[in-house]
Chains A and B, each alone.
Chain A
């Protein structure tokens, strides 16, 4: 299995809602990533988990809360988002457990989020 899967594909939420994005991989990768991608822009790194521990947090607002329950699963909990948070949220994984951003990253298809 060489896939990174993400659910849901699309999500519409109000500013007072709480929702979660889910990412799963079964490649035995030990590093997992969340990216945010606005339209016609490159992905921006949000978080990196290494061996299920948060290793990099790129100054992301606390209304985004990541969680890595096990080595195959990565969640992004959303609460009190703003309309400007509307974007494509991409999950990725890479093989090594150390934070090594020289490694090839394998991306999921993303969750397209709209905040009303």
Chain B
């Protein structure tokens, strides 16, 4: 079975500062890893996804994440935060058979002016 932990339920950064949201996963088989974003009062939107191959994944809105198997991590970064990045961010994992999928608990990102 897969599981996901996200360190920090709430992260605050200043506008223009680096964004780092942490995700660690547990999986007995090669994982597929996702980052979804949920803006207030909206559904979720995929930011990026790791399947196989290149471990550095670039997504929308300037976000990227790196799959590190040795650390079982898939941290999300953005070099410069924008006010519009304020949202809830969910890391998720699926097994490579596509039969299990689970979201992490989420991290709320606040961006301060």
Q: Which residues of A are in contact with B by a Cβ distance under 8 Å?
A: 4, 40-43, 45, 90, 92, 98-110
The number of residues on chain B lying at the interface, defined by a beta carbon within 8 Å of a beta carbon of chain A, is 23
Once the chains bind, are B98 and A42 in contact (CB under 8 Å)? no
Once the chains bind, are B44 and A102 in contact (CB under 8 Å)? no
Of B43, B46, B104, B105, most A-chain CB atoms within 10 Å: B43
Q: Which residues of B are in contact with A by a Cβ distance under 8 Å?
A: 32, 34, 36, 41-46, 49, 51, 90, 94-96, 98-101, 103-106
Once the chains bind, are B42 and A105 in contact (CB under 8 Å)? no
Q: List residues of chain B with CB within 8 A of the CB of A108.
A: 43
User: What does DSSP make chain A's interface, helix, strand, loop or mixed?
Assistant: loop
- Cβ distance A11 to chain B, nearest Cβ, rounded Å: 15
Residue B104 contacts which of A40, A42, A45, A101 (CB distance < 8 angstroms)?
A: A42
Once the chains bind, are A43 and B44 in contact (CB under 8 Å)? yes
- Cβ distance A86 to chain B, nearest Cβ, rounded Å: 16
Residue B43 contacts which of A90, A101, A102, A103 (CB distance < 8 angstroms)?
A: A90
